[in-house]
Structure 1
Amino acid sequence: MKEHKSDNRIRKPNSVQTEPFHVEHINAKGKVVHSRQSKKEKKPWTFKRVFLRIILPILLVLTIIIGGIIIWLLQWENHVLDQIEYIPTDTNPTFINESSSLVEISQYTSETIIPPVEDEDVHNFLLIGIDSRSRKYTDDGTGSLADVIMVMSVDNQEGSIKLVTIQRDCYVYIPGHSKPQKINAAMSYGGPELLSIVIENHLRIDLEGYAYVNFYNMEKVIDAVDGIDLEVTKSEVFHEPGGLNANLAEQNRILGVPEDTYKVTSSGMIHLNGRQAVAYSRIREVGNGVYGRSERQVKVLNALLKKFSDMSTTSKMSVMDDIASMIATNISKKDIKHYAFDFLPKVRNMEIQQMGIPVDGYFRSGMYSDVRANEWSIRPDWNGMIPLVQEFLYGETSAFDPVEEIPKAPRNGNGES
C-alpha cells in the first residue's frame, strides 16, 4: 500500500482565478484538511470608515432624539404661554378724572425733560396684586384697588431679580386729579395703564409692561406648588384683629365657607396652603404695620420661588401650566420668550433682592385732614428716594426731573417739612 505524502505546501491560486481558493494543512490525526479563504483581504478600519459606519449613524439617531425633545419642549412652552391672558396694548387708554369723566390718559401726560436712566441689561415690569372684592372690578383690573404694588427688575448682566415694593397708602399725584391721594386708587381710576404711568412719574423709571394676579388666584398659585414653609410668630397667627387666623376667617366668610376652615393652630416653622399664605401676607396689625406686610409678601414670594426651584422638571411643567392661567399681562408672548431666553441662562442667584418704598427717613405717616378728613396716609419724599431707587436698580445715580412735592412730606430725607 502506497503511503500518502504531503509537504504541507500552500497551493497558490492562478492570477486569473476568481473563485475562492483552498488552503490544505494536516490536522493532528494526519488527515488533510481543506479550508476556503476569500481572495480579497479585509480593508483596515480607517477614521473615515469608522465615522461613516458607526459614528454618523449614532449622531443621526441622537439628532432625531434631541430634535424631538426640543420640538416637544417648544410645544409645551407654547402651551404654557397660551394659558396666559394677553391684554391688547391700548394705544390710547382712558381713565376717570376727578370730574368722573372718561378721558384719554394722553391728555394729561408729557415727556420728561431729563430722560430716565437707560440700561440695556435692566428690564423693569409692574407686578400688581388686585383686590377684586370691589363691585366695580373688571377683567382688566379697572375699578379694583391695587393691594400689592411691586416693580420687578431683572438684570441680565448680574443675573439677578430685584423687587421694589410700594406701600399702597403712599400719596401720589394721579393725572386728572388736582389733589394727591393714595397710589392704589390709580388702579381703580384707570387700571394698570394709569398705575404704570403714576409709578413712572414718581420713581423716574421706565416700565416695559405689567402683569397682575387676583389675590384669590395667588391662593391657587401657592397650592399649585403644594404650599410653602414659613417661620410664623405666635402673634402673627393669633393676633386679633388682623392676624393670620383673623384674615383667614374674613376670607372664608367671603367665600361662603366656615370661618375656621384651614385655621392655624401652631406657630414656628409651619406649612401653609395657599389661602393661609395669602392671609399671612396680608397681616398689617402685627409688628411694623404696612412695612411688615411688605416684608411678609416678599417672604411668601421667596418661599414660593424656592419651592418651585426644588421641584422636578415634570412637576415644574405642571405648575407652570397652572400659574400661567392665573396671569394677565400686556407683554406679548414673543416678548416673554425674548426676556426669558435672554435672562434665564444668566441667573446666578434666585434669591429676590428687595427694597421697600417709602424708605425710612424719607416719609411721614399718620392721620391728616389737609386733603381728606381724618385719613391715614403715607407722605413720601419722592425726590429724596429717586436716587436710592436708581442706585438699587442700576448701581448708579443720575439727574432727573423733580417730582411735585407731597404736602406734609419731609424734604431730602431730613424729616423736615
Structure 2
Amino acid sequence: MKDSHKNAPVRRPGSASQQFHVEHINAKGNVVSAKRIRRRKKPWTFRRVCLRVLLPIILVLTIIAGGIYMAAMRYKDYLLDQIEYIPKDENPTFINEESSVVHISEYTSETSFQPIEEEHIHNFLLIGIDSRSKKYTENGTGSLADVIMVMSVDDDEGTIKLVTIQRDCYAYVPGHSNPMKINAAMSYGGPELLVRVVQNHLRIVLDGYAYVNFYNMEKVIDAVGGIDMEVTKAEVFHEPGGLNSNLREQNNLVGDPSEKYVLSTSGMLHLNGRQAVAYSRIREVGDGVYGRTERQVKVLNELLKEYSNLSSTSKLAALDDILDMVATNVPREDVEKYAFDFLPEVRNMKIETLGIPIDGYSRQGMFSDVRANEWSIRPDWNGMIPIVQEFLYGETTDFDKVEEIPNAPKVKPSESSDEDSK
C-alpha cells in the first residue's frame, strides 16, 4: 500500500517576504527535488501606506495627545481648587450702629433709575485686607479694607480698567446715620457690605468680589519674579513712612531681622515682593494718599507686565502661587474663564485707571463735624458718577442721587479746592 503522502508537494516558508520552497518526497521519504519560487512583491499603494505606516503613527499620537490633554485638565482643576470660593450670600448680615446683627436687605431702598449694564462688561471689587488688625477673620469681617478697586473687564475689547477708591473717602454705610471712611464698611459687614456701599455711591453693578490678605501681596509679586520700579531717594529714605521705614515695620511683624531687604540706593530697581508692598504703602512722600494710590496702580501694572512676559510653564507655576491667596464669591467657571482664557489674550497689559476722588470733586483735611479732629476726604459722589459711567461704559445715563457728604464741595469742579474744616 502506497503512503498517501508520497510524492506530495511540501510547502516550507522561505524568507519573510520574498519566497517559498516546493519539495517532493520519494518512496523512502527522502526529498528528491526542490524548486525555489519567488513571490511577487506587492506594490506600496497609498492605501497600504496608510494602513501599515500612517495609521499606527496617528493612533500613537492620538493616545499621547489625549494623555497630555487629560493631564492639562487635571492640572487646571488643581489650580482652580487652590482658590477659596465663598458661596454667594443672598441675604448677608452686618452690624448696625446699635451693635445689632441685621440683614443688608432691611436697608435696601428702591431706585428710580437702573444702572448701566452691558453683557460684555463685568465689574468686580478687588479688596486688599489690612491683616494687621487682630480682628481679622476668614471672610474679612473686622478688618479695614486697605485697598479698594473696581476692576472692569471688557470681554469684547480684551481690556481691563481700574477705578481706585481712596480708603479715606467718606461714604454712607447702611444702618449707620453718620457717614464714615469707606474702608470701615469692611469691619462692619465684610466684603458683602463693602460691595453694597461701593454700588450705592458709584451707581454701578458689581458682579462679585475678590480679596487677598495685605501681606499675601508679597507672595503674589514674588511668584512672578519681582517687578522693576523707579524709586526716588525720598521714597526710599524718608522717615517715617518711606520704603525702608515700611520695610522695617513689615520685617518686625513677621519676625525677620529689621534690616532684611532694606535698600541702600534709589533709581530704577528690581523689587521683590516685600519691597514692592513697602513701596505701595508709602504715603508720607509726595501727594499723600493720592500718591500712594498711584504707587499701588504702578505696582499692579508692573505685576501684570511681568506675568505676561512669563513662559506658559512659568505662568502656570505663578498661578499656582497666586490663586492660593485669593478668596472670592465669583463662580468657579467664571474664574476659569478669566484666568485661563481672558487674561492670556488681554490686548493691552497697561491698565486704564480712574482715581476716586476725581480732581476738583472733593475736599480733604481735618474735620470735626462727624468725629473730632479726623482727617478725611469728603467727595462729591454725584458729581463723579457721570465721569465713572463714561469711563467704564463710554456713555452716561440718569441716576438716583447719592446722599450728600457733609463738607463736600458744592461748587463747580474748576472752583473746588482742598481745604481744612473745623
Tell me if TM exceeds 0.5. yes
TM-superposed deviation, 1:324: 1.2
Q: Residue 45 of structure 2 aligns with which residue?
A: 45
Whole-Å separation in 2 of the counterparts to 1:351 and 1:44: 59
Specify every segment of 5 or more residues in structure 1 that has no aligned partner in the other structure, as ranges: 1-18, 22-33
In structure 2, the CA distance between the partners of 1:342 and 1:393, relative to structure 1 (3 Å rule), is farther
TM-superposed deviation, 1:274: 1.3
In structure 2, the CA distance between the partners of 1:132 and 1:20, relative to structure 1 (3 Å rule), is closer
Q: Residue 215 of structure 1 aligns with which residue?
A: 214
Whole-Å separation in 1 of the counterparts to 2:110 and 2:302: 39
Q: Residue 79 of structure 1 aligns with which residue?
A: 78
Q: Residue 413 of structure 1 aligns with which residue?
A: 413
Q: Residue 235 of structure 1 aligns with which residue?
A: 234
State yes or no: 1:131 paired with 2:124.
no
Whole-Å separation in 2 of the counterparts to 1:273 and 1:344: 23
CA contact (8 A) 2:362 2:416 kept: no
Q: Residue 25 of structure 1 aligns with which residue?
A: none
CA contact (8 A) 1:168 1:182 kept: yes
Q: Residue 186 of structure 1 aligns with which residue?
A: 185
Name the amino acid aligned to 1:267: S
Secondary structure of 1:306's partner?
Answer: helix
Name the amino acid aligned to 2:284: E
TM-superposed deviation, 1:251: 1.7
Provide Cα deviations, 1:244-293, integer angstroms capped at 9, x if missing partner. Answer: 01111222222233322211111001121211111100001111111111
Provide Cα deviations, 1:166-209, integer angstroms capped at 9, x if missing partner. Answer: 00000111100111110000001000000000001111111111
Provide Cα deviations, 1:188-241, integer angstroms capped at 9, x if missing partner. Answer: 100000000000111111111111111111111122223222110101001112
Q: Residue 27 of structure 1 aligns with which residue?
A: none
Secondary structure of 1:148's partner?
Answer: strand
TM-superposed deviation, 1:415: 4.1
Secondary structure of 1:103's partner?
Answer: strand
Provide Cα deviations, 1:302-325, integer angstroms capped at 9, x if missing partner. Answer: 111222222222222222111111
TM-superposed deviation, 1:43: 4.8
Whole-Å separation in 2 of the counterparts to 1:318 and 1:69: 17
State yes or no: 1:91 paired with 2:90.
yes
1:11-410 to structure 2, matched below 5 A, reads 38=39, 42-43=42-43, 45-46=45-46, 48-340=47-339, 343-344=342-343, 346-410=345-409
Name the amino acid aligned to 1:264: L
In structure 2, the CA distance between the partners of 1:416 and 1:382, relative to structure 1 (3 Å rule), is same
Name the amino acid aligned to 2:266: S
TM-superposed deviation, 1:53: 4.4
Secondary structure of 2:185's partner?
Answer: helix
In structure 2, the CA distance between the partners of 1:58 and 1:149, relative to structure 1 (3 Å rule), is same
CA contact (8 A) 2:308 2:344 kept: no
Whole-Å separation in 1 of the counterparts to 2:258 and 2:275: 12
Matched positions, count: 386
TM-superposed deviation, 1:402: 1.4
TM-score between the two structures when normalised by the length of structure 2:
0.86
Provide Cα deviations, 1:342-371, integer angstroms capped at 9, x if missing partner. Answer: 634642112222111111111111111111
Whole-Å separation in 2 of the counterparts to 1:49 and 1:262: 69
In structure 2, the CA distance between the partners of 1:312 and 1:416, relative to structure 1 (3 Å rule), is closer
Deviation larger for 199-208 or 398-407: 398-407
Q: Residue 13 of structure 1 aligns with which residue?
A: none
Identity %: 69
Name the amino acid aligned to 1:335: D
TM-superposed deviation, 1:294: 0.8
Whole-Å separation in 2 of the counterparts to 1:115 and 1:397: 12
CA contact (8 A) 1:362 1:415 kept: no
Provide Cα deviations, 1:19-62, integer angstroms capped at 9, x if missing partner. Answer: 999xxxxxxxxxxxx995546x745734x555444444443333
Name the amino acid aligned to 2:171: V
TM-superposed deviation, 1:82: 0.8
Whole-Å separation in 2 of the counterparts to 1:308 and 1:399: 39
Whole-Å separation in 2 of the counterparts to 1:115 and 1:347: 30
Whole-Å separation in 2 of the counterparts to 1:65 and 1:110: 59
CA contact (8 A) 1:158 1:346 kept: no
In structure 2, the CA distance between the partners of 1:44 and 1:350, relative to structure 1 (3 Å rule), is same
Name the amino acid aligned to 2:413: G
In structure 2, the CA distance between the partners of 1:117 and 1:347, relative to structure 1 (3 Å rule), is same
In structure 2, the CA distance between the partners of 1:257 and 1:343, relative to structure 1 (3 Å rule), is closer
CA contact (8 A) 1:157 1:346 kept: no
In structure 2, the CA distance between the partners of 1:52 and 1:388, relative to structure 1 (3 Å rule), is farther
Whole-Å separation in 2 of the counterparts to 1:246 and 1:134: 20
